[in-house]
Amino acid sequence: MADPALSHAPKPQGATGVLVLSDGAVAWGKGFGAIGDAVGEVCFNTAMTGYQEVMTDPSYAGQIVTFTFPHIGNVGTNHEDDESHDVPGAVGCVVREDVTAPASFRAEDTFGHWLASKGKIGIAGIDTRALTRRIRLSGAPNAVIAHSPTGEFDIPALLEKARGWPGLKGMDLAKVVTRTEHQGWEGAIWRLGEGFTRPEGTGRPHVVAIDYGAKDNIFRNLVQAGADVTVVPAETPAETILELKPAGVFLSNGPGDPAATGTYAVPVIRELLDRDVPLFGICLGHQMLGLAAGAQTIKMHQGHRGANHPVKRVAEGVVEITSMNHGFAVDATTLPEGVVETHVSLFDGSNCGIELTGKKAFSVQYHPEASPGPQDSFYLFEKFVGMLQRKDD
């Protein structure tokens, strides 16, 4: 039986926003942010903070984020908290309560005005609990999110657009969100009143980071852990990477289907492994390392997105609370000999980390850089940088 909060009911008076699911369900609300419509996969995120970081995370490209925490937008936005600049992230968001005026001394703009400046659409007044329950039961649906100040919508056309979108499976989005040029990275961890400062020290090992859709805070954590970082585009050949003389190579997070991105990323990673270059991957980078090692990836039913996901370190039995954002995963049943499962999700037992025997190569499915989220897992950056040869060694 259809949930009454997500029904085929006619448009209520005053509605200026609508979410049209591919199965024909319609949810009405109050639009804010950009005007127009956008298509994507609807997912939900359980984090209570960090909506600005979520909306600018390139891993959310092609997705409409449903925030389960009701009070979104209440601390406004500022230029320091964007996780990427001038690249696509989430196409829109769905929230429960109307966005209130910012209540933070760091606020530089309202959430609605900021969304509009980014070309992203928001809808308030949606029963996000019902929508989340629907996703949990039936999987993440394709949908169109739309905002019209006049309240005029062509629902049949929006439904056709939602049904015509092919979905994330088989879609390579890394090449859409990646940087297009090599870039040195300077700033490290943010401190109140100081901004993004750079730790002092010479002889720092050089890390080349392959950008499949990276969050900026990953690079800050690499610098904070003691590395110099050069960021390169997703399709950079192994030969070009090796010419930069990296002490190690980082494989970033990113959006889309890992199997599609792997067509050009996996051969590069395999060559780096053959050269015994130390590797560290996060999220999509974890999936790329898994594919390069001979494993397979799968599309998840609902995915993991939030800042409260418990993950167990298999060897020690220690539990970390982590930040996650992924709709695909490495299939643990396909891990070949020589690949050790190092971390597992305590929610559903899915794979959350691997390490290659005889290689300095490891990866995790979750986000140790947080932003938003807990900082239990910063040790992974220290582990990676600690295994690299310094310039003065």
Other C-beta atoms lying within 10 Å of the C-beta of residue 312: 18
Task: List Cβ neighbours of 35 (8 Å cut-off, separation of 6 or more).
Answer: 116, 121, 147, 148, 149
pLDDT tens digits along 351-377: 999 999 999 999 999 999 998 999 999
* The pLDDT value given to residue 191: 84
Q: Catalytic: 186?
A: no
Answer yes or no: are the C-beta atoms of 198 and 289 closer than 8 Å. Answer: no
pLDDT tens digits along 340-351: 999 999 999 999
- Angle at which helix 379-386 crosses helix 216-224, to 10 degrees, equals 60
- Higher-pLDDT residue of 187, 52: 52
What HEC string does the chain produce? CCCCCCECCCCCCCCCEEEEECCCCEEEEEEEECCEEEEEEEEEECCCCCHHHHHCCHHHCCEEEEECCCCCCCCCECHHHCCCCCCCCCCEEECCCCCCCCCCCCCCECHHHHHHHHCCEEEECCCHHHHHHHHHHHCCCEEEEEECCCCCCCHHHHHHHHHHCCCCCCCCCHHHHCCCCCEEECCCCEECCCEECCCCCCCCCEEEEEECCCCHHHHHHHHHCCCEEEEEECCCCHHHHHHCCCCEEEECCCCCCHHHHHHHHHHHHHHHHHCCCCEEEECHHHHHHHHHHCCCEEEEEEEEEEEEEEEEECCCCCEEEEEEEEEEEECHHHCCCCEEEEEEECCCCCEEEEEECCCCEEEECCECCCCCCCCCCCHHHHHHHHCCCCCCC
pLDDT band at 231 (very low <50, low <70, confident <90, very high): very high
Whole-angstrom CA distances from 227 to 179, 204, 281 are 20, 5, 15
What is the pLDDT averaged over residues 93-115?
A: 97
pLDDT band at 196 (very low <50, low <70, confident <90, very high): confident
Q: Reply yes or no on whether the pLDDT at 88 is more than 90.
A: no
* The pLDDT value given to residue 37: 98
Determine the Cα angle at 74 with ends 21 and 148, to 5°.
Answer: 40
Q: Catalytic: 283?
A: yes
What is the pLDDT averaged over residues 149-174?
A: 97
* The pLDDT value given to residue 2: 45
pLDDT band at 86 (very low <50, low <70, confident <90, very high): confident
What is the pLDDT averaged over residues 174-196?
A: 88
Counting residues of the chain whose pLDDT is more than 70, the rounded percentage is 97
As beta bridge partners, residue 43 has: 65
pLDDT band at 392 (very low <50, low <70, confident <90, very high): low
Name the active-site residue from 147, 286, 309, 367: 367
What is the pLDDT averaged over residues 205-227?
A: 95
Q: Reply yes or no on whether the pLDDT at 1 is more than 50.
A: no
* The pLDDT value given to residue 259: 98
pLDDT tens digits along 26-62: 999 999 999 999 999 999 999 999 999 999 999 999 9
Counting residues of the chain whose pLDDT is more than 90, the rounded percentage is 89
The whole-chain average pLDDT of the chain stands at 94
Q: How far apart are CA 253 and CA 304, in angstroms?
A: 14
The CATH T-level fold of domain 174-386 is Rossmann fold (3.40.50)
Q: Reply yes or no on whether the pLDDT at 8 is more than 70.
A: no
Name the active-site residue from 93, 283, 304, 352: 283
Which stretch of 44-58, 69-83, 181-195 has the lowest confidence by average pLDDT?
181-195
Domain 17-164 class in CATH: alpha beta
Q: Catalytic: 93?
A: no
The structure's pTM equals 0.95
* The pLDDT value given to residue 390: 74
Choose among 146, 154, 16: nearest CA to 91: 146
Q: How far apart are CA 305 and CA 328, in angstroms?
A: 11
Q: How far apart are CA 351 and CA 332, in angstroms?
A: 6
pLDDT band at 195 (very low <50, low <70, confident <90, very high): confident
Which stretch of 9-18, 89-98, 267-276, 380-389 has the lowest confidence by average pLDDT?
9-18
Q: Reply yes or no on whether the pLDDT at 19 is more than 90.
A: yes
Q: How far apart are CA 17 and CA 30, in angstroms?
A: 5
pLDDT tens digits along 258-291: 999 999 999 999 999 999 999 999 999 999 999 9
Q: Where are the domains positioned within the chain?
A: 17-164, 174-386
Q: Reply yes or no on whether the pLDDT at 318 is more than 50.
A: yes
Name the active-site residue from 53, 320, 355, 369: 369
Which stretch of 20-29, 270-279, 383-392 has the lowest confidence by average pLDDT?
383-392
Torsion (CA) 162, 93, 345, 48 in degrees, nearest 10: -160
pLDDT band at 95 (very low <50, low <70, confident <90, very high): very high
